[in-house]
Amino acid sequence: MEKLLQQAIVDAFKALFDHELAIEEVALQPTRKEFEGSHTFVCFPYARISKKKPEETATVIGEYLVEHVDMVKGFNVVKGFLNIVLTDKTWIDLFSKIWAADNYGVQPPNGKEVMVEYSSPNTNKPLHLGHLRNNFLGWSVSEILKANGYDVHKVQIINDRGIHICKSMVAWLKYGEGATPESTGKKGDKLVGDYYVKFDQEYKKQIAELVDGGMDKARAEKVAPIMKEAQELLLKWEQKDPDTYALWEKMNGWVYEGFDATYKQMGVDFDKLYYESQTFLLGKEEAMKGVEKGIFFKKEDGSVWVDLTEEGLDEKLLLRADGTSVYMTQDIGTAILRYRDYPKISQQIYTVGNEQEYHFKVLFMILDKIGYEWAKECYHLSYGMVDLPSGKMKSREGTVVDADDLMAEMINTAREHTEELGKIDGFTEDQAADLYEILGLGALKYFLLKVDPRKRMLFDPNESIQFQGNTGPFIQYTHARIAAILRKAEQLKLTPEDKDLTTLDALQPVELSLIFTLKDYPEKVKEAGENYSPDIIAQYVYDLAKEYNRFYQEVSIFNEEDETALKFRVALSAKVAEVINKGMGLLGAHVPERM
RNA sequence: GGCCCCGUAGUUCAAUGGAUAGAAUAGAAGUUUCCUAAACUUUAGAUGCAGGUUCGAUUCCUGCCGGGGCUACCA
């Protein structure tokens, strides 16, 4: 439809001003609500071509369109803005097409493969609010890319080795007294996290004691006995000491069980997991090869570096003097391994916080330096931190918002709201529990995804996430309302068919705007994919739901005497429900039939 | 110090260089004999400051002020 209108304007320029305009140049924007019309053509930039004032330019183009284009019913000009009014018939035909489309808004496979990495937590701390944003974002972007025709592989890298893990192990050995998830009834990730905290407390205590004894702080941090123990354990691990390895496997196993439960509750999943313990050697190898090829260089102490001063950055360490690897080295190894596993992927997307922008800039630069063509296509999907009113979450200050706790709290809040409203008579206990989960998680996911991922956002734990207004439950409620209408339509045998739509000849203004909004869905999916922005979908679905509620309020369906109009409204409702369902699905949120 | 991001109603978020800067929430006032009031309607309220480019700037450029991040032989 837009294409036809744009072409018509191109024709108008040719006929009226003898000027060839490229069709892409014709920018149409939606007409503001307070004016009549649906599409607006801004004429200011064309005054030079038409040699007329913008207002006159708009008027003559408008007149041309009414005369030559069937679908244009009328127009009005406000300053240099040409507001175009299309015939009702045009909108009805458009809806027929939308109605007939199966898999509306989903593109056929485009033959391209991409990999999306997200989550990738450390295995020594339970998941928190920041991970929720990360996981929901990564999962949603994956779904959006699928809807755009990509074959998507969802992966994560598990940081399962390194000094941080050894800290938890040391603390467990010293203070754990053989505690297990079974013996304590704790989730495995929480249990291991407790020992990580325990280590830190003990470490701090030892430093304080050494400083009291007259040592300077930097030295105390290095020689604190418990830190020495952790370092020794890391060395033993690298030498594959059987006891150390067994303990490491046991404790990581607990963490994975705990994480799995959390992922399940979140509703996210992965196609393949990468473990740092299995990729870091490849990174080391690559670093050595780089030295031979002269891409990297070795310092006197034997440490390996890459020189990025020509690129405007500094020198970056790849291997320590003792030959152990750092984060960067591991990421190099992981990236290479992934392309070996999936040779056809055209892009690798890393969902990681924006504090690591520099790291990824360097990583991609190094991969490029080594000579991997695909390095140019690597993309850091960088997102902002979730801040608390007090600032950043800090585990030391106990201000971390735990992922499991928050999800449970959301589900509980959903239960309270629902019970208060008392609208679910006849639900079994299981059905009610399902509903609370759908609503609680829907509210949470929508809350975290409706914001532009690149921006920092605020979460106030004291003001729980809303269920009214621009929220997940608002959209879910709209869906439940429509579901009720569809149930009734079916009972009354008023299910619409294609032919019912073609005989309709007039529309209410709300109906017209609903069709206008529905028409945008495929475009929004595309835009969200190009920008890796689920917020575009969230914003859209909200607008659609809001528009529908207005329609619901203003227009009666089952009291309508004209059966054609009635069936059209049922069809319109059904399509809105379908798009809400799909859009929310792209965000990882479900929609209920009743609530 | 260097580099990067961000400053929009009281608050949380929107706005490919376009019209009178949109929503939500909190505030005020309404709407249930009628398809689910987790809804709808009305009302009041904002672009950090100073320049520049433009017919037109929240958007682009420069400077300043304010907030955050990175600049680790941590991950």
Mean pLDDT of the A287-295 span = 93
Q: Which residue is nearest to nucleotide B23 (CA to C1')?
A: A470
Separation of A275 CA and B25 C1' (Å): 44
Q: pLDDT confidence of A23, banded at 50, 70, 90?
A: confident
Mean pLDDT of the A520-529 span = 96
Q: Using the CA of A35, which nucleotide's C1' is the nearest one?
A: B19
pLDDT number for residue A307: 92
Separation of A540 CA and B10 C1' (Å): 27
Q: Using the CA of A533, which nucleotide's C1' is the nearest one?
A: B14
Q: State both tokens at A523.
A: 């475009």
Q: pLDDT confidence of A230, banded at 50, 70, 90?
A: very high
Q: Which long-range contacts (CB under 8 A, 24 or more apart) does A525-529 make?
A: A525/A105, A525/A106, A525/A107, A525/A144, A525/A147, A525/A148, A525/A586, A526/A107, A526/A148, A528/A144, A528/A586, A529/A144, A529/A145, A529/A147, A529/A148, A529/A150
Q: Using the CA of A27, which nucleotide's C1' is the nearest one?
A: B16
Q: Which residue is nearest to nucleotide B2 (CA to C1')?
A: A313
Separation of A362 CA and B22 C1' (Å): 39
Q: Which residue is nearest to nucleotide B72 (CA to C1')?
A: A317
CA A82 to chain centre: 37
Separation of A149 CA and B15 C1' (Å): 29
Question: CA–CA separation, A157 vs A155, rounded Å?
Answer: 7
Q: What is the pLDDT of residues A62-80, one digit of tens each?
A: 999 999 999 999 999 998 8
Q: Using the CA of A357, which nucleotide's C1' is the nearest one?
A: B70
Q: pLDDT confidence of A2, banded at 50, 70, 90?
A: confident
% of chain A surpassing 90 pLDDT? 78
Q: Using the CA of A122, which nucleotide's C1' is the nearest one?
A: B75
pLDDT number for residue A503: 81
Q: Using the CA of A482, which nucleotide's C1' is the nearest one?
A: B35
Q: pLDDT confidence of A402, banded at 50, 70, 90?
A: very high
Mean pLDDT of the A12-19 span = 92
Provide the mean pLDDT of chain A: 93
Question: CA–CA separation, A36 vs A85, rounded Å?
Answer: 7
Q: Using the CA of A330, which nucleotide's C1' is the nearest one?
A: B75
pLDDT of residue A398 exceeding 80, the answer is no
Mean pLDDT of the A99-127 span = 94
pLDDT number for residue A461: 83
Q: Using the CA of A420, which nucleotide's C1' is the nearest one?
A: B38
pLDDT of residue A432 exceeding 80, the answer is yes
- The highest-confidence range among A273-277, A458-462, A493-497, A582-586, by mean pLDDT, is A582-586
pLDDT number for residue A403: 95
Mean pLDDT of the A132-142 span = 97
Separation of A516 CA and B8 C1' (Å): 28
Q: pLDDT confidence of A264, banded at 50, 70, 90?
A: very high
pLDDT number for residue A379: 95
Mean pLDDT of the A184-198 span = 94
Q: pLDDT confidence of A137, banded at 50, 70, 90?
A: very high
Q: Which residue is nearest to nucleotide B32 (CA to C1')?
A: A553
Q: Using the CA of A550, which nucleotide's C1' is the nearest one?
A: B40
* Strand B nucleotides, any atom under 7 Å to a protein CB: 4-6, 11-16, 18-20, 23-26, 34-41, 55-56, 68-75
CB-CB neighbours of A187 under 10 Å: 19
Task: Average the pLDDT over each of A92-96, A351-355, A458-462, A580-584 and give the range with the smallest value.
Answer: A458-462
Amino acid at A595: M
Separation of A15 CA and B55 C1' (Å): 25
Q: Which residue is nearest to nucleotide B20 (CA to C1')?
A: A34
Separation of A130 CA and B44 C1' (Å): 37
Separation of A504 CA and B54 C1' (Å): 47
Q: Which residue is nearest to nucleotide B22 (CA to C1')?
A: A32
Separation of A209 CA and B6 C1' (Å): 42
Q: pLDDT confidence of A124, banded at 50, 70, 90?
A: confident
Q: Using the CA of A477, which nucleotide's C1' is the nearest one?
A: B38
Tell which phi-psi region holds residue A177, choosing left (phi > 0), alpha (psi between -120 and 50) or beta.
Answer: left
CB-CB neighbours of A356 under 10 Å: 16
Separation of A521 CA and B64 C1' (Å): 43
Separation of A385 CA and B72 C1' (Å): 21
pLDDT of residue A280 exceeding 90, the answer is no
Q: Give the residue, A502 or A549, on which the prediction is more confident.
A: A549
Question: CA–CA separation, A470 vs A466, rounded Å?
Answer: 8
Q: Using the CA of A566, which nucleotide's C1' is the nearest one?
A: B35
Q: pLDDT confidence of A521, banded at 50, 70, 90?
A: very high
Mean pLDDT of the A204-221 span = 86
Does residue A444 contact residue A465 with C-beta atoms inside 8 Å? yes
pLDDT number for residue A557: 94
Separation of A408 CA and B29 C1' (Å): 38
Q: State both tokens at A31.
A: 């007409």
pLDDT number for residue A346: 94
Q: pLDDT confidence of A392, banded at 50, 70, 90?
A: confident
Q: Which residue is nearest to nucleotide B17 (CA to C1')?
A: A45
Separation of A46 CA and B18 C1' (Å): 13
Mean pLDDT of the A207-226 span = 86
Separation of A123 CA and B72 C1' (Å): 21
β-strands A457-458, A345-353 pairing: unpaired
User: pTM of the predicted model, to two decimals?
Assistant: 0.95
Separation of A32 CA and B13 C1' (Å): 21
Q: pLDDT confidence of A397, banded at 50, 70, 90?
A: confident
Q: Using the CA of A162, which nucleotide's C1' is the nearest one?
A: B75
Tokens 């109906």, located at residue: A511
Tokens 């979730």, located at residue: A386
pLDDT number for residue A223: 87
Separation of A480 CA and B17 C1' (Å): 41
Amino acid at A97: K
Q: Using the CA of A485, which nucleotide's C1' is the nearest one?
A: B35
Separation of A278 CA and B68 C1' (Å): 35
- Of A495, A496, A447, nearest to A469 by C-alpha is A447
pLDDT number for residue A82: 95
Q: Which residue is nearest to nucleotide B12 (CA to C1')?
A: A458
pLDDT of residue A505 exceeding 90, the answer is no
Q: Which residue is nearest to nucleotide B37 (CA to C1')?
A: A421
